[in-house]
Amino acid sequence: MKALVFPGQGSQFIGMGKELYDSRKDIKDLMESANEILGFDILSIMFNGTDADLKKTEVTQPSIFIHSVAALKAVNGLGAEMVAGHSLGEFSALVANGVLSFDDGLKLVSERAKAMQDACDANPSSMAAILGLEDAKVEEICAQISGVVVPANYNCPGQLVISGETSAVEEACAKLKEAGAKRALLLPVNGAFHSPLMQPAQERLAAAIENTKFRKATIPVYQNITTTAVTNPDEIKQNLIAQLTGPVKWTQSVQNMIKDGASNFVEVGPGKTLQGLIKKIDGSVDAASAI
């Protein structure tokens, strides 16, 4: 079975989407509509902007969504039987399985990004990548820290990102190194994504989601929070909302997709990050780029 997977924040690069834009008129029209929806020229930043501009959350997230949906259009869905997305990528996945329109998805992604940025600005915080330690040990040590620090991204076996208050993240990193982690690296982000500190953003996103039309999925989406196949639009809404303060369980999602028959994973969007993670989760499956 074929599964489409969609990347999240961190996969952006200057020039992203330009070849797609130039390839077909219908894709060009789709991408140009994003400027009107967002109210600013995001394509110029994607194609010719600076790294600093592209790294702003309110630009990064819509840019990756636009690129991913344009790439999906270029390959016409590839006859997939299931979809999933890493964090932000879940919105792209919901366009792929018919739950959201491009316009509605982009509006939600934009609101999500702005809300997350505002939450970051209000409460500066951090994330760190922990390499070479069992998930259970990372969970155990995070639970022992007095401040807010939680597992945020279960990317693949031996690679887990933690998130929370800067002092708590730093303390956790020190203890995780003592416990045998090969590396504990603070990430260049100014916010604690997928942690309780995103509560204000979650409330804003929930209001936007409740005012958006969600259709029944044509094929299942394996959501970050539940890690299992979902098609009911009401469940999908609640899982999207919960995702902002809960962990991205990518390892478990991919494992469940494989258990349910996925053997061919196609990454749709910028970069090749997810292919690498999938190969580390299970080296027996195929994983490649859509374009």
Question: Could you read off the pLDDT of 145-164 as tens digits, one per residue?
Answer: 999 999 999 999 999 999 99
Q: Is the domain of 136 the same as that of 204?
A: no
Q: Is the domain of 151 the same as that of 217?
A: no
Q: DSSP state, 217?
A: P
Q: Which tokens belong to 129?
A: 């990548």
For the stretch 78-108, pLDDT in tens is: 789 999 999 999 999 999 999 999 999 999 9
Q: Is the domain of 84 the same as that of 178?
A: no
**111 vs 190, residue with greater confidence:** 111
Q: How many CB atoms lie within 10 A of CB 259?
A: 10
Helices (H), the chain: 18-23, 25-38, 42-48, 51-54, 57-75, 89-96, 102-122, 135-144, 166-178, 199-210, 233-243, 250-259, 273-281
Q: Is the domain of 167 the same as that of 278?
A: no
Known catalytic residues are 87, 194
Expressed as residue numbers, the domain containing 215 is: 2-121+196-289
Q: DSSP state, 153?
A: E
Length of the chain: 291
Residue 243 lies in a domain: yes
Cα–Cα distance for residue pair 20/26, rounded to 1 Å = 10
For the stretch 41-77, pLDDT in tens is: 999 999 999 999 999 999 999 999 999 999 999 998 7
Cα–Cα distance for residue pair 279/76, rounded to 1 Å = 25
Q: Which tokens belong to 4?
A: 């489409």
For the stretch 206-263, pLDDT in tens is: 999 999 999 999 999 999 999 999 999 999 999 999 999 999 999 999 999 999 999 9
Domain end marker among 169, 187, 205: 187
Confidence of residue 204 (pLDDT cuts 50, 70, 90): very high
pLDDT exceeds cutoff 90 at 139: yes
Domain end marker among 160, 187, 214: 187
CA 52 vs CA 19, 45, 49, 188: distances in Å: 22, 10, 8, 12
Q: Is the domain of 284 the same as that of 246?
A: yes
Q: Is the domain of 183 the same as that of 253?
A: no
Residue 126 lies in a domain: no
pLDDT averaged over the chain?
Answer: 96
Residue 127 lies in a domain: no
Q: Is the domain of 283 the same as that of 146?
A: no
Q: What is the pLDDT of residue 77?
A: 74
Q: How many domains does the chain have?
A: 2
